[in-house]
Amino acid sequence: MLSASLVSIQVGCPVAHGDPEAGDPHDQPWTTGFFKSPVQGQAFVGFTNIRGDGQADLVNHGGEDKAILAYSAEHYPLWRAELNLPAMGPGAFGENLTITGLSEESVCIGDRFKIGDVVLQVSQPRQPCWKLARRWRMHELPAMVVHNGRSGWYLRVVRQGWIEAAMPVTLMQRTNPDWTITRANFIMNHRRRDLAATRSLANVPSLSAEWVTELREREMQLRQISAGS
């Protein structure tokens, strides 16, 4: 049995940052909800987000399959040492839930977790984008995440309700024990030419619609390449 608990909850709405006159690309205008603040006391979890949270790019972020982003608290000591950022801690990767006792190696696609009255289901790994690099002014940071697999994972909300920091995170159901976040990340990012692995991941129950679509498109391209060789 997994023993996990909720360290902290973070929310934040889109805010404009930057200066149009700035010469450094990191300082030029952008809008993001990446900068999140800790919630004191209870937070209400709805089907598309935690109350008080929002995304600037609703094409690539948010929605029912990516309602909540979770991240392992155990990663932060590693990041602080590797990046020489002693202040880096919960919320630094834009996550809503910082959880201790879980990681990409122990969480599987389709897992259902209970926090208070809320039931959450793992839908896909988090794919780091340019906003992570922009937040920390490190263009290489997304590539580092892809390399080391400390991505975090997205959750859909099965049952709404209230949560609070320090609550236990309880695994209720595991339907895909072979499909950890680590394995899904590896196939998506490092086995891009593997037709069988691509097909297998696309068929995993409860995988997000976005990933299924991307994998099906990749599968079709790989079939065409195979047929033409």
In a domain, 213, yes or no: no
pLDDT of residue 1: 62
Count of domains in the chain? Answer: 1
In a domain, 200, yes or no: no
pLDDT digits (tens, 9 = 90+) for 72-89: 999 999 999 999 999 999
What DSSP designation does 40 have?
P
pLDDT digits (tens, 9 = 90+) for 17-48: 988 888 787 888 889 999 999 999 999 999 99
Nearest to 107 by CA among 150, 140, 50: 150
In a domain, 131, yes or no: yes
In a domain, 59, yes or no: yes
Q: Could you give the 3-state DSSP secondary structure of residue 168?
A: strand
**What global pTM score does this model have?**
0.95
pLDDT digits (tens, 9 = 90+) for 160-211: 999 999 999 999 999 999 999 999 999 999 999 999 999 999 999 999 999 9
Pair 39, 52: CB distance under 8 Å: yes
CA 25 to mean position of chain CA atoms: 25
| CB proximity list for 26: less than 8 A, separation 6 or greater | 134, 137
At 94, which CATH number? 2.40.33.20
Q: In which element (H, E) is residue 171 found?
A: strand 168-173
CA distance 200 to 215: 10
Q: Say how many Å lie between the first and final Cα of the chain, rounded.
A: 48
pLDDT of residue 172: 97
In a domain, 64, yes or no: yes
In a domain, 34, yes or no: yes
In a domain, 210, yes or no: no
In a domain, 76, yes or no: yes
Number of Cβ within 10 Å of residue 202's Cβ equals 18
CA distance 1 to 99: 16
Is residue 106 packed enough to be buried (19+ CB in 10 Å), middle (13-18) or exposed (0-12)?
middle
- Which residues span the domain enclosing 132? 4-175
Beta strands 97-100; 68-72: pairing state: parallel
